[in-house]
Amino acid sequence: MLKKAALPDLTFETEAGFPALPVAGVDEAGRGPLAGPLVAAAVILDPARLPDGLNDSKKLTEKRREALFEEITATAHIGTCILPVEDIDRLNIHHATLEAMKRAVEALPHLPAHALIDGKFVPQLACAATPLIGGDGRALSIAAASIIAKVTRDRIMAELDLTFPDYGWAANKGYGTAAHKSALARFGATPHHRRSFAPIRKILSPHS
């Protein structure tokens, strides 16, 4: 019999002083796509109003993510950062991710006492912070942040798809699918493509 996968809980938040102290979970969406912004979110949950079913956004259906997005927005403190492609190309994706996470924490209504960061790197923050690999599947506040970040970014890509319908962004969210790469070969890069990423760089400078 297969062991049921563990769900995220408040263990890490409690160790950091929650709920007596405000603890934020921080995550991002959009590291890997060839197009579109990077979105980071920071969430401080309300211990008296925890949405049911919080989990890593990748493990949830789109319908469930959308429903939880509304619940989190209604009950928690949220900070978000939408980092444009220009900043991604200027900073590189690693440093862009840390910058977006930093700005998301700074966008919260008040500074948390502690931040739980998804991944193994921590941005420079004005509060204590702990990296947590696979945190979106382990800590409820990071799971909430992953949902806010992903739904926000997915909505942005759906909007961009209306202006640039040839690339299939409403479906592929800017990731390098076969259809997206085929469209790139036919139509070239848009202003929303990440010029520092190898497939785009190759299209723009084929002989370099």
Residue 2 pLDDT grade (very low, low, confident, very high; cuts 50, 70, 90): very low
Measured CA to CA, the distance from residue 149 to residue 174 in angstroms comes to 15
Residue 4 pLDDT grade (very low, low, confident, very high; cuts 50, 70, 90): low
Q: Specify the DSSP class assigned to residue 38.
A: E
**Residue pair 147/118 in contact by the 8 Å Cβ criterion:** no
Interval 22-75: pLDDT, tens: 999 999 999 999 999 999 999 999 999 999 999 999 999 999 999 999 999 999
The pTM for the full model equals 0.95
Q: Is 90 exceeded by the pLDDT of residue 208?
A: no
